[in-house]
Amino acid sequence: MRILLVEDDPLLVSGLVLALQRAHYTVEHVADGRSAVRALGDNTFDLLILDLGLPLMDGTEVLSAIRNAGHMLPVLILSARDSTEDRILGLDLGADDYLVKPFELGELLARLRVLERRRNGGTVNKLQLGKLELDLAGLAVIWNGQPVELVRREFMLLKHLAENPQRVFNRTQLEESLYGWGEGVESNTIDVHVHHIRKKLSPEVIKTIRGVGYRIGQVDA
C-alpha cells in the first residue's frame, strides 16, 4: 500500500516513516498543503495521512480540494485539534478517520488496517484465534466465551501478537507498536503488560521465548 504522509513536524515524520516502512507500507512525505495537492494530482496513492495545521494551505483546505477534485482515497487525519467541532468538520469534509495527537503507534497502525480493509471491500472487525476473540472496533476481548476487561495498551499488545501468530517480537518492537515518540517507557513496561494479560486471561495466552521476546501462546479451543 502506498501512503502519502502530509506532516510538517520533522521529528514526528522521521518516526512515522520508519514505523510505516517497518509495517511494510510504501511512504512518500510532503510538509505543506500545496505540495500535498500537487502530489495527489501527479501520483496515485492508496491512502492519505493528513495533518491539519499545515503551512501554505491548511489541512481542511487540502481535504476539501482533493474531494472536490474527485480523489476518493481513504483519508486519516492526524491533528492536535481535539475539540468535537474539529473532528466533526474533518469528517464532514470527507475524512474517513480522525486521530488526535499524541497517539499510540499501535492504534495508528490498527486504524490504517481498518481503512485498508474498507478500501478492499472488507468489513472484518473481529479477530478470532481459538478461544481468543478480539472486537477490533470496540476494543473488547472474549476469552473462552467470557468477556475480559483489558486496558487499551493491554488490548493493543494482545492484538499485535494475535495478528502475527507465527512471529516472535522483542520488547523494543512491542514498545514501538504501543507508544508514541517522546513517551517515557520503563524497561519492564512490556513485561508488566504481559503479566496483567496473563493474569486476566490465562498464563498460556502469551508465550515467552527466552532470550528473544514474546509470541501468542496456547489459544486453541
pLDDT for the residue 194: 96
Instruction: Check pLDDT > 60 for residue 6.
Output: yes
Mean pLDDT computed over 5-32: 92
Q: Is residue 51 part of a domain?
A: yes
107 and 164 within one domain: no
The answer to whether 93 and 64 are in contact (CB under 8 A) is yes
Q: Alpha helix locations (H) across 43-104? A: 59-68, 84-92
Half-sphere exposure of 99 toward its Cβ, with a 13 Å CA cutoff? 20
Cell of 21: 516502512
169 and 65 within one domain: no
CA distance 30 to 201: 44
Higher pLDDT, 190 or 126: 190
Higher pLDDT, 201 or 107: 201
Q: Is residue 197 part of a domain?
A: yes
Q: Is residue 221 part of a domain?
A: no
Cell of 88: 466533526
Instruction: Check pLDDT > 80 for residue 80.
Output: yes
User: Looking at the 3D structure of the chain, how many domains does it have?
Assistant: 2
206 and 185 within one domain: yes
Q: Are strands 2-6 and 26-30 parallel, antiparallel or unpaired?
A: parallel
Q: Is residue 69 part of a domain?
A: yes
**Domain finish residue from 51, 84, 119:** 119
149 and 111 within one domain: no
Q: Are strands 26-30 and 75-79 parallel, antiparallel or unpaired?
A: unpaired
Mean pLDDT computed over 8-29: 90
CATH classification of the domain holding 68:
3.40.50.2300
Residues spanned by the domain of 72: 2-119
**Domain finish residue from 66, 99, 119:** 119
37 and 8 within one domain: yes
78 and 171 within one domain: no
Mean pLDDT computed over 207-217: 93
Higher pLDDT, 1 or 190: 190
- State pLDDT tens for residues 94-126: 899 999 988 888 889 888 988 887 776 654 567
Task: pLDDT band for 182, please (50, 70, 90 cuts).
Answer: low
58 and 93 within one domain: yes
52 and 16 within one domain: yes
Instruction: Check pLDDT > 80 for residue 5.
Output: yes
Task: pLDDT band for 172, please (50, 70, 90 cuts).
Answer: confident
Instruction: Check pLDDT > 90 for residue 139.
Output: no
Whole-structure pTM value: 0.58
